[in-house]
Structures are given as structure tokens and as C-alpha cells.
Structure 1
Amino acid sequence: MRFTPRRRRRWTAALGATALALTAGGALAAPAGAATTASSAVDFATHCVPPPIAGIPPIDGTTTAQITVDNAAPRVGDTVTVTYTVTKPAASNPVDLALPENIMTPSGKVTLGGAQTGSVTVTGEKKNPPVPGKGAFPPFSMTGTFTVTAPGAIALSPGDYNIHTSYIMELDTPCTVSSPPAPVSETVTATALPGANERALQLDNASGAPGARVTVTGTKFTPLAEVTVGGRAGAAETADKMTVTTDSQGGFAARLTVADLATTGIVAYEGAAWDAEKGAGPVAYQVIDDTPAPPGSQRISATVKAGTLSMTQAGDAVQLSAVDFGTGGAATGALRTVTVKDFRGGPAGWSLTGKVTDFSGPGGASVGAGKLSWTPACATKAGSPSTCAAGSAGPVGSTGATLASTPNGTVTGGEFTVDAGLSLDVPAYTAPGSYAGVLTLTLS
């Protein structure tokens, strides 16, 4: 089997398992899952308003942009990371003065349509090459997240965006889609998950100065429940916090004051502490520090970027030992080592599960999926915030079993290696020949 890593919150690998014969046979492998759909760049008319100090009229031009996601096939309740890349902004430097590097901070919205409607708040890094006077603004990217709340095809289109510059003075160049919505750039197809957490958040702004208020809208929380709305910096809470009570439909609208410079996202949750099963977010939010630096000083900042949850495996086929016709017994072997890397930097743990098909043999003969058992083992790399726990030994079957997991916590993440001993209980008079099944591993 071939396994190709992809940036997705949910990973699936098909593991070809075993040859079973009266005498040793060759292992059979199965191909990996289907590839994700590709996004496309789109052009759309844009109306940009230069800062009043520039003294020039609005700019009506064309923006070229592309939307990409880390998971094109999520389940309801999954969090999808969205990247909005503007490859050709409609606006340009409105003044004759050249702009130095790393003074531009973009923010914007991605519009959702189809099975789920609304918008996703996205923000970008304060990063840019030098821009000459009256020169074109360079390309930039912005990221954000949303929680899938409905099954079906969800269309993602570029939305309004703003270019904030911090040089000599704080200036904004807002650009709006002239005829919304813009063309669809990416589509994700969500599947239903009964009982999934469908709570969701939206912000009316993606950034603001310290002390600015942002409207946080929540949906599908428990009706008439007390909800904490607050800021987060990675896995830690910041000083920005308030409580609201949901309405009879489980919705709320809160005006949160964001003053803590460490805040990089907004969450909302029911109960006394963060619980991924009873909360939503984080939704990206950037505090733009506009405090003038003292004379003769320089402000130095750094950003720690969140990564992804991923897995790789040390091979794609397993050969179990042979057993004898008339005797049967255990055909044994070992799962190819799976390496899990959790670099998300949030509070959520992960679970690695597996399920297997029946083992097909010659002439329509088979060995049932319930005959395969495993004995899981899991090791945690030193320094990892989370500790990996191995699943229980026992049958795998077609309905599946847990191979390994880590719990939710205040700070989670790390690197882990997962192994398992495999044993296929072959009935005594199983027809001679090679038998093969497919073990599918899912990381979520």
C-alpha cells in the first residue's frame, strides 16, 4: 500500500494485511484513500477605499485569490482550517512614500454557502516585502477556522478583506466584493456524524486595537445555558473573558472587549472550564498593537504558528505467519509502526482507531474480520505535552477498535509511535491459499 501524507484533521490509511497459506505466500497490499479535491484561483471585482489621508478616490479593480483547506472531506463537528490567499490585490500603496517591510497586517472573511452558510474570519501575519510609493501591494495569505455544522457540499468563496499598515501612522485600506458572493474557489463535502458537537462561532471583525470590542455570535449551544466567551493564546486562556446566557434556540451575541495583546483567537464554552465537546473555536483574532514605541526604541515581536495533526507509517503491507490446513491457529505478525505528530497547539487530544475487512481467499473462501485481534502499544517522545495511551487488546473487527489516543487538556501535542502485535485466528480446515484483508486506520 502507498500512503501519501495530506494536511487534514482526519487521516485515513489503508493497510494491506496478510498472506495466509498452507505454505508461505506473498503479502497483498491495498491502495490508499482517494485524494482531496483541488481548489482554484478566482477573479472578482473589488471596491477598495484608500485611507482619507491619501486624498485619492476609491479604487475599483480586480482581485485574484484562492481558498484552500486542510480537510476537504470533514465530518460534522470537525474543525476545518481555511487559508485565503490574495495573489493579486486590487489596491496599491496609496501614497508616494515607500513602505518598509513587515508593516502590513491583512484580515478578511471567507464566505460559506451551500449546506452551511455564514463567514469565516481570517487573519494574516504582519509580513511583507518593501512596497514602493504608489506601487502594487504584494500577495498575502490569511487563515482561520470554522466548525462543520451540517452535512453536504459547503462552497467557500473569497470575501471582503482589509490591509492594515503600521508605519508612521495606523492606516486601513478596506476592500469589498463588488457583487457578492465572489466565485467559489473551494468546496468541501461534509458527512453526518450523529451526536457531534455542532456549536459554532462567528466574529464581526478579524482584528482590532487593544481594547476594541468584537461581536461574537454563537449558534447551536445548549438553550438557556451560561456560556463563557474568552480569548485564547494557543492552548492558554487570556485575560479577555465574559459570560452570557444563550437564548431558547441556543444562540447568543456577545460584545467582548479584547485588550490582552496575547490573544490570538476567541472561544466559547459551556461549564466552568474549556471542554472541546461543549465549546466552539478558537476563531482567529489579531490584536494590533498601535502603541507608539518610545523614542530610540524598537518593538520586537515573534509568532508561534500552529501546525497540523498528521500520521505516517513505516510500510504499507504486513505478512503474517503461515498456518497448516487441518490445524489452523494463530497467524501472527506486527503492525507497521505508525508515527503521530500533533503540532496543533490547542486543547484537543486525538484518537487513532482501526477497522478491518473480511480476509478474502481462493474460490470465495474467507476468514471473518472478527478473527483479527491486536495488542496495541504506544510510546511518547520526551518533552511532549500529552501522554499517549494504548488501546485495549482484543478483536479489531469490521466495526473497529481504538489503537491509541491522548486526552483533551489545557496544553496538548507531541510526537508518538504506535505499534501492535497482530493475530489472525484461522479455523482448522480453512481452504489452502492466500488470504488478504484491509485494515483502515483513522486519526481524528
Structure 2
Amino acid sequence: MALTRSRAAARRRRWTAVLGATALAVTGGALAAPAGATTTSQPVEFQTRCVPPPIAGIPPITGTTTAEITVDRASPKVGDTVTVTYTITRPAASNPVDLALPADIMTPSGKVTLGGAQTGAVTVTGPKKNPPVPGKGTFPAFSMTGTFTVTQAGSITLSPGDYNIHTSYIMELDTPCTVLNPPAPVSETVVASPVTSPNTRALQLDTASGAPGVRVTVNGSRFTPLTEVTVVGRAGAAETADRMTVTTDSDGSFAARLKVNDKATTGVVAYEGAAWNADKGAGPAAYTVVDDTPQPPDSQKITAAVTAGELSMTQAGDAVQLSSVDFGQGGAATGDLKTVTVKDFRGGPAGWSLTGKVTDFTGPGGSIGAGSLSWTPACTAKAGSPSTCAAGSAGPVGSGGATLASTPNGAVTGGEFTVDAGLSLDVPAFTAPGSYAGVLTLTLS
């Protein structure tokens, strides 16, 4: 890097994030893993053969290289991009000449070998940056980064591969180092999960209420074509005796005439398979059985209507500024999601789910993977709310999305809820200073 340490310090900036409707922006340098993040990486040693430049007039050097590989996401999904950092803490090669080498003239490059569920090699490069190296002195430690796209689910191992040290001083020279007896020991393992398709099955009733014994038309869509579907009444989380089976058409749709007798029925669901499965079902669609029991003589039946409302959310703001970090030092940029208030005034048996997904952060140094943003959710129900709010699991948000908070289905659901989350952004070391921006989208369903 051309800037001196003092000039670089003058150009330090703050990491920021914009959320809500929801953009995130980041400025600054490298960030370390967020608090609570886990890693399986470990330093390894392997034998290498390094060939000094011909001008040195010395034979190849066989020695031990110590290195470690880290990733920005240890649990990616198929299709995600993983950033790999290959750090050589002790190279086998050294300055082959008596001439001292000045600072910032070494540019490393290399390969990381993939194995297990996905094979191949990842090309990694490092910045042109190094401390002065005395004549015949040991080359300093250095890091190289690169990316690969996950194409297979399962455990993917990462092993150090060949590397090269290029020096640009007086003349351009290379010192290539080859792994003997490849592959080198595994330094890091990522476990990739398959892409999960969202459940788009939908359910609609032709009426929201009826007397006992009345048939309600249940229309289903986007189910698996030509598949048997169970249509059944619900009393909270329990099924009632009101049920029937239908077979979907070639488009995955159906129309069922369900006879509803049970006065406890508060909703209708439909699902594929022998039992309810949220991934292969739809509903519950709210339904009320109107009690038409005859009145005794000389009596008056008094009724009052309660109008159902909507499921909605509001945010306390759309800009979050994360803590600042120093370029080259590393550290986690942290902050808090602007508070989200969820109001469930529908008055039915269905719960809700609030999810979020984030794009990659783009800036002058390229991009920072979406999996680098992690959150620690929290959710509180307002006193008197029928539903209990459950916070999502702490961990990466990613482009595939994660749950921020939810409430379960029940006999009676609803209420007002406050949702928060601590945020932590992890950026590979020596990311170029500047502004990096991504978009976090929250979805309530």
C-alpha cells in the first residue's frame, strides 16, 4: 500500500450500516470474527520445495511451511460465495540474496485445495505489503485471499496449496514453493447445506364462518401436482374431526368442499403426507363456526362483533452505524438493529414469522459476503398478548435468510411485540478502506 502508516491512520473511517427498508453501508478496514462465532480452522505444517530465482545461484530449498486457512462462513448454502484467507505464518523460503529488501515489495499468490464434497482449487492473492527483510533473512508472514462458490452440499475441506513470493525491487523475481506429497493437511472445513426452496403453498376459503354442518370451499394452490392432500379443521394446534382428502390437479391446485361440524374449529389447514408438515402445508385459514343452537322461550340472544385487524410491522429507523475498526488491526464492527414493532391484530389461530436476508456488501475492495453479517435476536411480547414471541437463533443472516422472531399457531393468537437484534459484521483482514454497502430486507408473514 502506497500510504505511510500515519497517512493511513488519517484515512481511517467508520463502519456504518443502513437497515430497515433496509440498506447497510460499511467503511473502514478489516474486521475479525463476530463475538460468539466458531471456527474449525487450525494451523498445519507441511513440506515444501522452494526454488530461488536463478540470479541467487543457490539450489532449491526443502523445508517446512506453517500455515492456516480461515473462511468468512463455516456453514454456507449451495450457491453462496465463501471468502478464503490463506495465511502463511512461517514460509519455508527466505531472502536468497545478501541485499536487504525494503518494505512493500513482496506480492504473494497461491492456491487452496478443496476436497470432500467439492474438489478443485481456489486462487488466492495478497497485497503488496511487507516489513523490510534483511539480506538472507527469513521472509515474513503474509496472507492471501480469494473466493469460491459452493456447488455441492456436505463437508468441504480446505488444505494449503502451492504458493509464490514475487518481489519487485531492482528486478522482478519469483520464489515458487511447491507442496511435497500433496495434498497438505486439512486446515479448515466448511459444512455446506443444500438450497432450501420457500414454501409457496397457499390456502383460501370462500367464507370465513358458517353454522355447524355447513360446507366451506377450500381452494389450494402451488401444492405438488397430482398429490393427495389432507384438508382438516384446526382447534389451535390440534386437528378436529372435520377432515377430507383430495388430489391436486396437474397445476398443483385443488378445490375441496369441507363439511365443518366441530364448534371448536377455528381454522383450516391442508398438507401433503400423513401428518402436518409446515414445509408441505398451507394455513391455517381462519374460520368461525357460528353457534345456531335454538334459543329457549322468552329469551334474547345478545351478540357483539369484534372486527379482525391486520398483521403489520413498523421500524424505529432505517440507519444503523456499526462501531469503527482500524485497517489492518481487525475486529468486529457491532451495532444494534433499529427496533421493529410487530402488531398481530388478526384474531385468528395463525402465528407469524419475521425473517431477514442481506445482500453482499460492495465497495472499493470488492465485496464482503452476505454471510459475514450475524445477528443475535431478541423478542418481547407486550403484557396481555395472547401469543408468546420466540427470538430466532443467533448466527449468520446471509443471502438465504434467517429467522429474526416468530410466534406459534394457537387457539387464540395475537398481540404486540418488540423485536431487536445485536449486529456484528466480520470482514477479512486488509479489506481496502472505503465504503461498503449491502441491503437487509425484513419480511413479515
Indicate the TM-score class for this superposition, using the shorter chain for normalisation: 0.3 to 0.5
Please identify the structure whose Cα radius of gyration is greater: 2
TM-score, L = length of structure 2: 0.45
Give the number of the structure with larger relative contact order, counting CA–CA contacts within 8 Å between residues 6 or more apart.
Answer: 2
